[in-house]
Amino acid sequence: MSKRISVLILAVMLLCLSACSGSDKAAAQMLAGEQLAKKNCKACHGQGINGAPIIGNKKMWGPRIAKGREALVMNAFNGYGLMPAKGGNENITKEEIDLVVGYFLSELEAQ
Ligand code: HEC
């Protein structure tokens, strides 16, 4: 496990210790997803490079969401069209991609 990830997990655990009650596990996961997205995905998904669906843009995500979270995670993990496998970061795990997709989906609900 890379140091970066360990630090991230520690941060999430600390956040949980200090602020958690019930549904805050979800909030901690969301935060982890957001941090991972910032590092690995926002370069393209922040502004739609090569047609990447922009974070929070319902119109762009609509037809993709219909595939279901599992399929989105698999496509992000394996690569899909102009989307490079794992966003080009060999070290990212499927669990981490799942956290990012969870964050993407929550950004769509928020608006
Ligand atoms: C180099 C640019 C780039 C990076 C970095 C990138 N993406 Fe993408 N992503 C794309 C593009 C372009 C598409 C649209 C692909 C298509 O439909 O042909 C896409 C599509 C997707 C989709 C939709 C797949 C589907 O089934 O419709 C998901 C989910 C996704 N990206 C997740 C991620 C995650 C998670 C990361 C970070 C780990 C990431 N992407 C990093 C460019 C990128």
- 17-28 per-residue burial string, b: 16 or more CB within 10 A, e: under 16: eeeeeeeeeeeb
Return the pLDDT at 26: 87
- CATH code assigned at 67: 1.10.760.10
Q: Structural domain tally of the chain?
A: 1
C-alpha 85 to ligand 1 mean position (Å)? 8
What percent of the chain lies above the pLDDT cut of 90? 73
Whether residue 1 is predicted with pLDDT greater than 60 in this model: the reply is no
d(CA 27, CA 32): 9
- The answer, yes or no, to whether residue 99 has pLDDT greater than 60, is yes
Averaged pLDDT for residues 72-95: 97
Q: Give residue 40's pLDDT.
A: 98
pLDDT band at 16 (very low <50, low <70, confident <90, very high): low
The one-letter code for the residue type at 100 is: V
In whole angstroms, give the CA distance from residue 98 to residue 44.
18
52's CB contacts (< 8 A; 6+ apart) are 44, 45, 82, 83
Tens digits of per-residue pLDDT, 24-62? Answer: 888 899 999 999 999 999 999 999 999 999 999 999 999
User: Closest residue (by CA) to atom 2 of ligand 1?
Assistant: 44
| Residue of the CA atom closest to atom 22 of ligand 1 | 76
CA distance 76 to 70: 10
Under 8 Å between Cβ of 11 and 27: no
Tokens of 103: 């964050």
The parent domain of residue 82 ranges over 3-109
pLDDT of residue 68: 96
Ligand 1 centroid distance, CA of 18 (Å): 34
